[in-house]
Amino acid sequence: MPLKDDLQMSLDAISRELIHGLPHQASDAGTIGDPKTRAVKKVLERMGHAKGMFVCGHGCEDDGEWLLDLLWMDKKDWRIVLAVESEWGNQGEIESDFLKLLSVKAHKKLMIFSSANRTQDVMERIRALMVKYPFHLAGEEYMALDIAMQGVSRYSFTVPNNGRIDAANFAHLNGALEWPWGAVLAASG
């Protein structure tokens, strides 16, 4: 049975709105951990409320952290609409946080990380976890965002069938999504 997806927004649109709503400091490679996570959560909380969602996450107005860094839940039936995890740096911790997304049943799942120029290694580990996991639901959508100073690389995958999958070929979406302030900084530099 496929998961119900009545959120009128794609992960592509969610990622674009998120990136364009982040403050300039979020792109700084030196800004890791809590400040970056707080910035991401604040934007996603605002976006979720604008869509009428109940938003759970540490420091969020509706409710505290519930399993993941942030969740959007439908207020009618408490179904998880968007599941979000973030990790900045350590490849093993990125993998551990991604494992949480595999276990949570939500139509849309977003992994936000900073790979420090090891994107292919991180994505290969994510692909391996996807293939190893035996309980997928057809239609689950995954997006991985690799946040870097020059922009955000986005990778997308939709689960084709229930159960095990043979491959998780994440599509690289249109190169890096540029920061909204990038042109301003380039012109002033």
In the chain, where the domains are located:
11-188
Amino acid at 3: L
Residue whose C-alpha is closest to residue 173's, from 143, 150, 148, 147:
143
Of the candidates 71, 25, 22, 23, the residue with the CA atom closest to the CA atom of residue 45: 71
Cα four-point dihedral sign 24, 27, 32, 36: positive
Residue 93 has pLDDT above 80, yes or no: yes
Quick one: average pLDDT of 97-119? 91
Both tokens of 131, joined, read 């293939």
Q: pLDDT tier at 150 (50, 70, 90 boundaries)?
A: confident
- pTM (global) more than 0.85: no
| pLDDT, position 1 | 44
Q: Chain centroid to CA 51: how far?
A: 17
Tell me, what's the pLDDT at 127?
A: 97
Kind of pairing between the strands at 70-73 and 80-88: antiparallel
CA distance 152 to 27: 9
